């Protein structure tokens, strides 16, 4: 196994010598679409991207639709499709348009489209492929599983919480996740995409309810370990109340290790060292969130660090797709796809 280096900051070349041909990005929430949009902007057009998206969402519009119609939760899939779409901005805006619900959450048009396709096609993957073709998406979007799963969280006080939307309300630190039913398997094509990828990107996004929710599907972590290709973890910018309170970079890595992906099985960590405006930090602090601490200690064996300013210029603290996409594309090119990774 390739040994990791000490906490050394890697700066990818600004002139990549070789671009990957197949990349897998794993996660969900608001983070994965940012990665996809950035990669699509900076990778060559002939590089094929596969997004493996959590299928455990049970809140909001997605939760209502899966409960009423027994469809896969469409929200995360919708956002990933739109991040990779090749349509007029007005079409994207229309699919994101949310009709107010008389009772309960309103449904984005894109959620309704995916739910309808899910109900009239032969299977869920066909529905997603049809939606992709309507949006001009040439890449592949795969749910982590086609089983109707729920997340189960074991808390530090011994209690267990069921449901993705309930986990952050558990009132205690999260120890471990699993999926119910426990015999859920990855969607057709997920393991093959990981095995064939030149590199795999994890995160950003809610650590437990997006990234680890995807890795919790049996078989996915093992495929990552066995693939022996560059594995890149993009760490979150902010902690999330009820989910990663007080977490620094090291705690994020420990959570991955608890779920089977040890730090020596990661090759790079992308961390933000750019400033977050004081006024925005104060607003997040009022909600119980703070910037993720850069707490990697010198002299300790960690995956290589890629540090930089990846913060977007908006009122919400989120990664900038252009900044993140560029550094990921450069990093992927600089690693190459040599036999040393196999």
pLDDT computed for residue 299 by the predictor: 59
pLDDT computed for residue 103 by the predictor: 60
pLDDT computed for residue 287 by the predictor: 94
Q: Model's pTM, two decimal places?
A: 0.92
Report pLDDT digits (tens) over 90-149: 999 999 999 876 666 789 999 999 999 999 999 999 999 999 999 999 999 999 999 999
pLDDT computed for residue 102 by the predictor: 64
- Residues (pLDDT < 50) of the chain are 1-7, 13-16, 337-342
Reported for 248-252, long-range contacts at CB under 8 A and 24+ positions apart, including other chains, are: 248/292, 248/293, 248/294, 248/295, 249/292, 249/293, 249/294, 249/295, 249/296, 250/295, 250/296, 252/207, 252/292
Domain segments of the chain as ranges = 1-30+37-44+185-342, 57-143
pLDDT computed for residue 2 by the predictor: 43
pLDDT computed for residue 11 by the predictor: 57
pLDDT computed for residue 7 by the predictor: 47
């Amino acid at each position: 196994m390739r040994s990791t280096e000490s906490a050394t900051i890697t700066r990818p070349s600004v002139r990549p010598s070789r671009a990957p041909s197949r990349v897998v990005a794993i996660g969900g929430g608001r983070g994965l679409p940012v990665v996809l949009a950035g990669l699509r902007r900076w990778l060559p057009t002939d590089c094929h991207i596969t997004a493996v998206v959590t299928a455990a969402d049970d809140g909001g519009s997605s939760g209502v639709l899966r409960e009423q119609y027994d469809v896969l939760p469409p929200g995360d899939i919708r956002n990933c499709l739109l991040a990779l779409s090749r349509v007029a901005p007005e079409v994207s805006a229309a699919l994101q348009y949310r009709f107010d619900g008389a009772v309960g959450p309103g449904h984005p048009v894109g959620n309704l489209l995916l739910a309808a396709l899910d109900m009239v096609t032969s299977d869920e993957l066909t529905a997603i492929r049809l939606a992709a073709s309507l949006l001009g998406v040439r890449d592949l979007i795969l749910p982590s599983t086609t089983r109707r799963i729920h997340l189960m969280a074991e808390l530090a006080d011994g209690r267990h919480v069921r449901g993705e939307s309930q986990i952050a309300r558990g009132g205690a630190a999260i120890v471990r996740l699993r999926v119910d039913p426990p015999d859920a398997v990855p969607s057709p094509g997920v393991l093959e995409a990981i095995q064939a990828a030149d590199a795999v990107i994890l995160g950003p996004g809610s650590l437990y309810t997006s990234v680890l929710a995807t890795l919790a599907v049996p078989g996915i972590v093992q495929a990552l370990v066995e693939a022996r290709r560059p594995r890149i973890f993009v760490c979150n910018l902010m902690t999330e109340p009820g989910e990663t309170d007080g977490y620094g970079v090291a705690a994020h890595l420990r959570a991955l290790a608890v779920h089977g992906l040890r730090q020596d099985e990661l090759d790079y960590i992308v961390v933000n060292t750019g400033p977050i405006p004081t006024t925005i930090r104060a607003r997040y602090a009022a909600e119980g969130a703070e910037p993720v601490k850069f707490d990697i200690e010198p002299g300790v064996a960690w995956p290589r660090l890629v540090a930089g300013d990846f913060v977007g210029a908006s009122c919400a603290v989120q990664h900038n797709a252009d900044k993140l996409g560029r550094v990921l594309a450069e990093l992927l090119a600089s690693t190459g796809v040599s036999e040393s990774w196999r």
